[in-house]
Amino acid sequence: MAAAAAAAAASTARAARKTIVLFDVDGTLTPARKAATPEVLAFLKKLRGHVFTGMVGGSDLAKQREQLGEDVVDMFDFVFPENGLRAFRQGELLAEASFKDHLGEENLKRLVNFILSYLATKVDCPVKRGTFIEFRKGMLNVSPIGRDCSHDERNDFEAWDKETGCRKAMVEALRAEFPDLGLTYSIGGQISFDVFPEGWDKTYCLRFLPEAEFETVHFFGDKTFPGGNDHEIFEHERVAGHTVSGPADTMAQCAAIFPECA
């Protein structure tokens, strides 16, 4: 009885704050493509006792489960795979949108054919593996090295990409080739970039957070620079953005704002 009353009081207090804290995944809650540590998971659980929390990532739900746990949709108040193109609240699906339906089959085929041709003829990275294009519900994820690369190969590609600007050059080629499709290109993580319709970046998730319910929206992400996949939401007028360098920095910055969670 006492526990139920305490839980109800905590829920009321959270609602009264009208605040939600959103987190990116790779480079923010976890190292790139790795699992969250028990320390991070415990911090998130404690934070959720004081404010509403949410996760917004570019990856699909399957990858987010690999990194944060099978129960990821129940760990946060809101979960937004693929930038919110699938949206969950309290574990229940709210809505989903389709990149294929938006673009149309012929335009999608044009896009895929160009990407495959470019990768075959213009990209000469040190190694190539498999899964160069990953088709997701709300976007394409393009990886010049291929998503099947090992962890060491991933690190090597990231260093090579910083020297050569491979992903940046490929994005510019796509912009020049498809000005008619209204697409956005967003570099994120170590080895890939996302392709999605304009407005389908991480700000898409904000439509599921009514201003009357959430007056303050914090966002923590690592790729907040122009062209990074956290930039648009970081710069959004509704959002208090925080640039982080990794999970430890995320917890430190968040605890400075919410000392009750330290």
Annotated active-site residue 24? The verdict is yes
Question: Do the annotations mark residue 154 as ligand-binding?
Answer: yes
Residue for token pair 């075959």: 120
Question: Do the annotations mark residue 24 as ligand-binding?
Answer: yes
Catalytic residue among 24, 60, 156, 201: 24
| Cβ partners under 8 Å of residue 208, min gap 6 | 78, 80, 84, 87, 89, 94, 95
- Per-residue burial over 165-174, b = 16 or more CB atoms within 10 Å of its CB, e = otherwise: ebbeebbeeb
Query: Where are the extended beta strands (E) located within the chain?
Result: 19-23, 52-56, 78-80, 86-89, 92-96, 133-135, 140-142, 183-188, 192-197, 216-221, 239-243
Question: Do the annotations mark residue 234 as ligand-binding?
Answer: yes
| Cβ partners under 8 Å of residue 260, min gap 6 | 50
For residue 79, the cross-strand partners are 55, 88
Annotated active-site residue 201? The verdict is no
Question: Do the annotations mark residue 48 as ligand-binding?
Answer: no
Question: Do the annotations mark residue 86 as ligand-binding?
Answer: no
Q: Which residues belong to the active site?
A: 24, 26
Binding-site sequence positions for alpha-D-mannose 1-phosphate: 33, 136, 147, 154, 192, 194
Binding-site sequence positions for Mg(2+): 24, 26, 222, 234
Binding-site sequence positions: 24, 26, 33, 136, 147, 154, 192, 194, 222, 234
